[in-house]
Amino acid sequence: MIYLERSSPALLCPHPNPLYGYCYQDSEDIPDTLTTITELGAPVEMIQLLQTSWEDRFRICLSLGRLLHHLAHSPLGSVTLLDFRPRQFVLVDGELKVTDLDDARVEETPCTSSTDCILEFPARNFTLPCSAQGWCEGMNEKRNLYNAYRFFFTYLLPHSAPPSLRPLLDSIVNATGELTWGVDETLAQLEKVLHLYRSGQYLQNATARSRAEYQRLPGSAIPQEDYRCWPSYHHGSCLLSVFNVAEAVDICESHAQCQAFVVTNQTTWTGRQLVFFKMGWSHMVPDPNKTTYVRASG
């Protein structure tokens, strides 16, 4: 679903990720107007997001990184969002979209020296260089980036992430918190995390552990025998995404109550399979869309 909003002077060209826009000759003969067409999504509730899977939280941060990249390289110049808070965004199919452009600004801050280029936030300030052309270098971009850090990255990126990805995620959080990276490098590192996670390369450096034997039972499922784990895609059971069966075995081995798991034909946005982890297999039923693995006795 979409809704229309009359906004102030044209700031952004149409882009498939952050928003849809359409410029036209206004019949009311009002100059410098833009009608933005933005998707209707769910409000951003940070407490709820903290209870979701890391994979879904990373998707939000990745979509935010792509949005910031678009704002930094818009046809009209670098765009900053002066009112950068979670309530200015919505979630559409798991991705972050901006919905309020009233406080967007294109112009960089003029300066005569770096003392005119102080970027102020509640917790700390940054001093940026003043260019030879008399503009504070990268102030719009850096304002967006630090707001992304303090409202989103610091809460959503590191927690419950795969251990082998934590050093890279921590470097993203630290670099955006210190503004040592720009938007381009931040997005490049987020895309690197996506590649490592989607390809399964993040598992290559995982410590090999002795695995129990599991019997494969295709075309079967375990309707009950659930237990809860966190984070899970289902509040009443332990439903996680895995890259392959070997990762599912490792997860089951790490849960004291796990005795079996059921691989479904459902996948997440990265193509990973969803798996139910079970505390037993006393009652099994036929299901052509699932494969059950049970721990071998002995």
**For 185-227, how does the pLDDT look when each residue is reduced to its tens digit (9 = 90+)?**
999 999 999 999 999 999 976 545 557 899 999 999 999 999 9
- pTM equals 0.84
The answer to whether 85 and 143 have CB atoms below 8 angstroms apart is: no
Looking at domain 214-295, which CATH architecture does it have?
3-Layer(bba) Sandwich (3.50)
Domain with CATH 1.10.510.10 in the chain: 43-201
Rounded-to-integer distance, Cα 243 and Cα 265, Å: 13
Indicate the residue type of 139. Answer: M
CATH code for residues 43-201: 1.10.510.10
190: left (phi over 0), alpha (psi -120 to 50) or beta: alpha
Q: What pLDDT shows up at residue 279?
A: 96
Confidence grade of residue 127 (pLDDT, cut at 50, 70, 90): very high
- Give yes or no: 83 in active site: yes
Find all residues with CB under 8 Å of 272, minimum gap 6, and list them. Answer: 55, 198, 241, 242, 243
Mean pLDDT is lowest, of 27-41, 58-72, 125-139, 239-253, for 27-41
pLDDT band (50, 70, 90) for residue 158: very high
For the chain, where do the domains classified as CATH 3.50.4.10 start and end?
214-295
Give mean pLDDT, residues 29-57.
77
Q: For 25-29, 150-154, 242-246, which range has the lowest pLDDT when averaged over its residues?
A: 25-29
Residue tagged active-site, from 26, 32, 56, 83? 83
Question: What does the pLDDT average to over 150-162?
Answer: 93
Residue 3 has pLDDT above 80, yes or no: no
The fraction of the chain above a pLDDT of 90, given in percent, is 64
Residue 53 CA to residue 74 CA, distance in Å, equals 32
